[in-house]
Amino acid sequence: MKYGVLLLSVLSLMFSGCATKLMPSEDIEAPRLYASLISVLKDPQLPANSKEKYDAIRALMKKVDFTFTRETKTINEFLSPADAIIDLPEAVDRRITFNYQYRNNYVRLTFFTYRNFVVRVDITEK
C-alpha cells in the first residue's frame, strides 16, 4: 500500500509538471503571433545588453517554451544570429548561447546542438 501511494504521488507530479500554457517554439504560428517581440530581438541596432532586448526576451518566454526547440532554424526564427555566442563554430556539436542582460539581471538561453538539431536547452534567469 505504501508503494502504491508513492507511485501515485510520483505520477501526479510528473503529469502536473507536463502541463504548460506556453506555446512550443516549434509551433509554426509562434513567429507570426509574437512578431513584435521577435522584431525587437532581431533588431541589429540594439545590443544584447539593452533594456529593450531584455524586456522582449522576458515577455517572449512568458508565451513561448524554448525547451521545445528541436532545430537550429527555429532559433534563427526567434533570435538574432548577431547575439549568438558559439563555442566551437566549426564543430558538429556546438553550444549556442544568447545572453540578454540589463543591469544586474539576465536571461541566458543555451542551445546544445548536434549538426542542425537541438538536443538540449538550458535557460537561466536572474
Averaged pLDDT in 10-residue chunks for the chain of 126 residues: 47 49 96 98 97 98 97 98 96 97 97 97 97
Instruction: For residue 68, give the nearest of 59, 77, 56 by alpha carbon.
Output: 77
At 14 the pLDDT is 47
Q: CB–CB of 97/90 below 8 Å?
A: no
DSSP 3-state assignment of 84? strand
The sign of the CA dihedral 12, 15, 19, 25 is: positive
Distances 92 to 71, 104, 112, 121, 125 between C-alpha atoms, Å? 14, 34, 11, 17, 28
